Every structure is written in structure tokens, then in C-alpha cells.
Structure 1
Amino acid sequence: MPPKNRKQTHRVTIELAAGNAPVVDLGKMLGQTGINLVQLKKDYDTATAAQRGDIVPVVVTVFEDRSFDLLLKTPPTAFLIRKALGRKGSARPGHESAGTLSKDVLRGIAQRKLPDLNTADVEAAMRTIAGTARSMGVGVEV
């Protein structure tokens, strides 16, 4: 177990493909920190192997001794909505519809996003997800 009094030097949030993080993106964001990018890629890929095909944001905290910690987040809401629809949102939200999400799909997305939202209530999370869907031009069943 690493010492608790490590001094943090950098904290970066990066959205990467789960199970196959491109080293180029890691190098762009974290190259100046001097950490072992290959080890970071291996750690991220093994932690997200079960979610392959999704975009999984990670908060990388770099410490003075060039060690790092990874904090995985849930995929972005817009990504989950696009995945559920099978296509992108509307180019003109409010004017053109990009599809409709059922209540069950909305609940599934809300339950998946619940750890990263500022609520513990699934109904409130569903309202938050529905707002994102509407801003993408996606309708929601009532």
C-alpha cells in the first residue's frame, strides 16, 4: 500500500475507448508528467475489459513520485443514449426528431449512470437523463 502523504501534481480526466486505450491520446494528455504510459494503458485496459466498445472516462491522478491512481467513471450520458438508439441525435433538436426512448431504456441508462449523478433516486436520475435526451432531439415516452 502506497504512503498516504503523497503530493498530487496533476489530475486529468480523459475519455477513452474501454479495453483498448490509444497510447497516443494518453501521451498527449500525460506525456509531460513522466509517468509510465504503458503501465497506465495496461491498468486501464484490464479495468475496463468488461466494457469493451464503450467510452469510459477515467480520472488520472499523478503524484510527485510519478505514481498514479485511476478512478473510472460511467460512460457519458449522450454516448449511452446514442448506443440505445443505434444512431446519433438530431442535427436540429426541437425541430427534427432522432427517435424515442422507452421508459425501460431510460430507467436502464439512469441506473447505470446513478453512481456518477448527484442523486440517489432513480426517478430523479431518469429526469436528468430525459433532459439530456431532449437536448439531443430524442423523445422520451411518458
Structure 2
Amino acid sequence: MSKAAARMKTAKKMIDKIDHSSKLRTNIPAGLANPSPPLGPQLGQRNINIANFIKDFNEKTAHIKQGIPLPVRVKVFPDKTYDLVIHQPPTTYFLKQAAGIQRGAMNSGKEVAGKITLKHLYEIAVIKSQDPPMALFTLEQIVQMFVGIARTVGIKIVKDLDPDEYAEFLKERAEIVAQQKQELQEAKEAKMLRTG
């Protein structure tokens, strides 16, 4: 065996195996993981034992209110074990909860779907700062990011919020949302008639 061939052989041994597996990135409702699509097939494609994963996830999220969407990152290893990282709920979830609304604005920038105070925004930033992707950001930077997210959802950030005034705003907003839903339904039905 030549010297070059011997060097190649030792170099191949030294190089770590390349990991071609992809991380699973998905949202799963807290305590409600089940093998039905889309989760079951995603786990099956990565050779993860579905029953064990579901049991593991549901146990780890048992202390969280059922149904809250949780961003999940799963790294699969060659021996079919996995590393499960569960993040805090999405920022938009927290913003909508703080504003007391179910859905954001249909026309972001043109309508206000809800209002929150700077204190709400700060408290959300403190919670979200626990997520690994936020580790490199200061609390001030996280708050600034969330101002942009709030704007896209249609949530206005105010200094003070009068409860009675806001309750009246939410009543008016509910009427607007109902009207928007009706318009969407009518547009869907009209489209179905055109294509049918």
C-alpha cells in the first residue's frame, strides 16, 4: 500500500460521520400529541418510535394548559434516540392572549385588532427570553422585535389601557370580525359557484 493510500485511510477514520438527518421543527399542542397526521408521519419518516415520543412529549407538557401550541425541535441520532427541545408558545400566541383576542388583523397596518401595554410586552419578552434562539439577544432587543411582531398582528402598543374603554373597543371589534368572516364566507361561496 502506498503512503498516499495509507494517509487517505487514516484521514477517513478521523473524519466524523456526516449527519444527514434533518431536525424536526413543528408546533404541537401541549398535552395533545397523537400519532395522527401531521405528527405521526413526520416522526415515522425519521424512524422515531411514535408511541414513546408521544408519551414523552405529553409527560413533559402535562403542567401546561392543554392545547397551547408549543414550538418543538427534535434532533434524531443514528441509534434512533432523539433530543426533544420544547420552546415557549409562539410570540403571536402571547400577544393575542394579552390583548384578549382570538385572531389578528386581516389588513395589518390598516386596522387595530387589539391593544396591549408596554408592561405586557416586557413580560412576554421575559418569558420568551428563556428560549434557546433568544439567548444571544438582550431583553431590550427582544422587546423591539416583539413591537414589530405586534404591529404585523394588528396589536397596538399603548402606555395605559382603560379597562372599560378597552371592553367597548373589543365589543366593536367583535362586530367587525363577524362582518369580515361573513364577507370571507360569501367570497368562498361565490368562488365555488364560479368553479362548479
The two structures have a TM-score, normalised by structure 1, of: 0.86
CA RMSD in angstroms, aligned pairs only: 2.0
Pick from 152, 158, 162 the counterpart of residue 141 of structure 1: 158
Shift of 1:120: 4.3
Question: Equivalent pairs: percent with the same residue?
Answer: 31
- 1:106 is matched with 121
What is the SS of the residue equivalent to 1:115?
coil
Residue pair 2:104, 2:153 contacting (<8 A) in 1 also: yes
- 2:53 is matched with 40
In 2, Cα distance between equivalents of 1:26 and 1:99: 32
Question: How far does the alpha carbon of each residue in 1:4-59 deviate from its partner, in whole angstroms, 9 at most, with x for none?
Answer: x9975331111000111132232121212222111101111111122223211111
Matched, 1:92 2:107: yes
For CA contacts below 8 A with separation 6 or more, give which structure has more relative contact order. Answer: 1
- 1:132 is matched with 149
Residue pair 1:93, 1:135 contacting (<8 A) in 2 also: yes
Q: Which structure shows the bigger proportion of residues in helix conformation?
A: 2
Q: Which structure shows the bigger proportion of residues in strand conformation?
A: 1
What is the SS of the residue equivalent to 2:129?
helix
- 1:122 is matched with 139
Amino acid at match of 1:40: F
Question: How far does the alpha carbon of each residue in 1:69-120 deviate from its partner, in whole angstroms, 9 at most, with x for none?
Answer: 1011121111111222222111111111111111121111111111232544
What is the SS of the residue equivalent to 1:132?
helix
The two structures have a TM-score, normalised by structure 2, of: 0.64
Matched, 1:71 2:88: no
What is the SS of the residue equivalent to 1:43?
helix
Structure 1 unmatched ranges of 5 or more: none
In 2, Cα distance between equivalents of 1:119 and 1:78: 21
- 1:51 is matched with 64
Higher-Rg structure is 2
Amino acid at match of 2:107: R
Structure 2 unmatched ranges of 5 or more: 1-15, 160-196
